[in-house]
Structure 1
Amino acid sequence: MSAAKLRSSAWGYGLSSPALLLFLALLVVPLGLTVLLSFNAFDYSSGIQAGQYTLGHYLSLVTDTYYYEIFFRTFWISALVTLLCVLIGIPEALVLSRMGAPWRSIFLILVLTPLLISVVVRAFGWSLLLGADGLVNQGITALGGQPVKLLYTPFAVIIGLVHVMLPFMIIPVWTSLQKLDPAAEQAALSLGASQWTVFRRIVLPQIMPGVLSGTLIVFGLAASSFAIPGLLGGRRLKMVATMIYDQYLAELNWPMGATIAVALLLINLLVMLSWNRLVERRYKRALGV
């Protein structure tokens, strides 16, 4: 390798070193310490046993059906939230992309505005709507019906998560739509293709990178969400994030909390990488790549 290339390589590493150090300090080191903590022995009478390591926390996690139930609930709710965000977000992004100025900018701001409001504030807003004396039940009672239990149910958690996660689906899809050539749609329509055929065979394959990005973001955030399940699901409807919180602050069993956190991370990575590979394969097949 020539001296010029060596200098160029060293200069590149030098420029990227602050970002790498920040990455190591804020992500790799805390994650490594969490993994190490998950192997520490724990006793309720004396706390964490320094220098003593065990696989007992992981064995409890894979043998106790209590944890299975909570992990299953977390992932089916996250999958349903992702599906609803896809069904709502794609049409909304399509409408947004076809708007003219100034309406496009106005509605884009409306889509992004909820991100400026705290998740806790939005969760309390939904609790006021879905509570026993909330506006929804007041409307049902006014129409002659009986109040329905909505708060502290999976329905409330799903509604809250969809509200929070929807912008993360709309924006990637809308960005992909900006790269779409309108002439391709017009050519297909002029040749007699229906609107559904144009969407299925021309639009959808080309916006799949945006859909893939949106689904990965929404699923990952929903599976690890704490505020919405904690405030709208209550103490009985536990999800993995609320269970981790209980282990750390209620049980004071930090090693078990770290074990659950590591398991959540690994399962999330497995699901997301599998989904990414599946969608990318179908995307390349659809485009004939």
Structure 2
Amino acid sequence: MSHPSVQAVARNERPGLAPWLLSGPALLLYIGMLLVPLLMTAVLSFNAFDGTRGVLPEHTLANYAEVLGDGYYHEIFLRTGGMALGVTLLCVLFGVPETIILARMRNPWRSMFLVVILGPLLISVVVRTLGWAILMGNQGLINQALMALGITDEPVKLLFTMTGVVIALTHVLIPFMVISVWAALLKLDPQIENAGLSLGAPPMTVFRRVVLPQILPGVLSGSIIVFALAASAFATPAILGGRRLKVVATAAYDEFLSTLNWPLGASIAVLLLIANVAIVLGSNRLIERRYAAVFDR
């Protein structure tokens, strides 16, 4: 028989309503600011639309059939996926070595460079994109430098091209990759790396066999974040891509504000959300299976 005081302690340690009461305000805010608008957008996507009468109370699947059956929208979704994939690969290519070098710096240099890397997050994405538009112009600093170095004889067209959009989005989103890899590096025990070097392994082998597997979760989580943000980006593709180089976000914007076909714009937004969620969940499932297979060996 257990002692009465032990039973009292056990009863006191059982979670009651306190966690729900403490998280209630944040949960209500989350529901009100995110879930309710998403639900209203999903409902709107099933409404019919008439060019003269506007949004009709009838419900139909015609909006989804138009998006899924039209090659024009197929091209926009493929362009958006390719753009997001390119930005993700560039963020991995530049962000991972950048974070590793940053982690090996000593203070105060490490703190200074960390502020420089994360500082752009404090500036509006519109301001940063306008800055890139100035740099990428025919008379911008980039083209002037290329011509001064003799790399090209005439300005390279960067504005209103996918190349310019990818470059600017990489600059905008690379801090998220740095943050994710940085969090993984903080858990890395430097003694393990030193042990591999002391046993005679080359530095690249130690990095490939010891360091990379331990920071890979940070790289994969950062890739998921960057891909999702790049696929749903609006300001940068709209400013640097122009009206002709449409992605999914700008296509939905045009349907809402140009043609005033709100149900069609809502269906495009919902399909973008579904695609993003499917890619994120699929990536997580793939990562979990990969690591389960590694740990089961």
Tell me the TM-score range normalised by the shorter chain. over 0.9
In structure 2, distance between residues paired with 1:191 and 1:88: 30
**Displaced runs of 4 or more, over 6 A:** none
Which residue of structure 1 lines up, in the alignment, with residue 128 of structure 2?
Answer: 122
Unmatched tracts of structure 1, length 5 or more: none
Whether 1:77 and 2:83 are equivalent positions in the alignment is yes
Could you report, residue by residue, the CA deviation over 1:174-197 in whole angstroms, capped at 9, with x for unpaired residues?
A: 111111111101111111211121
Report the secondary structure of 2:56's partner residue: strand
Question: How does 1:1-289 map onto structure 2 within 5 Å?
Answer: 4=11, 8-50=15-57, 52-142=58-148, 143=150, 145-288=153-296
Could you report, residue by residue, the CA deviation over 1:191-217 in whole angstroms, capped at 9, with x for unpaired residues?
A: 121112111111111112211221111
Could you report, residue by residue, the CA deviation over 1:134-178 in whole angstroms, capped at 9, with x for unpaired residues?
A: 222233444360222111000000000000000000011011111
Cα distance change, pair 191–286 in 1 and its aligned pair in 2 (3 A)? farther
Unmatched tracts of structure 2, length 5 or more: 1-7
The amino acid that maps onto 1:238 is: K
Shift of 1:53: 0.4
Does the aligned pair in 2 maintain the 1:82–1:215 contact within 8 Å? yes
Shift of 1:5: 7.1
The amino acid that maps onto 1:235 is: R
Shift of 1:278: 1.5
Count of residues in correspondence between the two structures: 287
Shift of 1:288: 4.8
Cα distance change, pair 278–104 in 1 and its aligned pair in 2 (3 A)? same
CA-atom RMSD in angstroms:
1.8
Identity between Structure 1 and Structure 2 (%): 55
Could you report, residue by residue, the CA deviation over 1:47-84 in whole angstroms, capped at 9, with x for unpaired residues?
A: 0012x100000000110000000000001110110011
Relative to the length of structure 2, the TM-score reads 0.92
In structure 2, distance between residues paired with 1:161 and 1:287: 36
In structure 1, distance between residues paired with 2:146 and 2:189: 47
Shift of 1:4: 4.3
Does the aligned pair in 2 maintain the 1:205–1:286 contact within 8 Å? no
The amino acid that maps onto 1:64 is: D
Cα distance change, pair 61–189 in 1 and its aligned pair in 2 (3 A)? same
The amino acid that maps onto 1:28 is: L
Shift of 1:6: 11
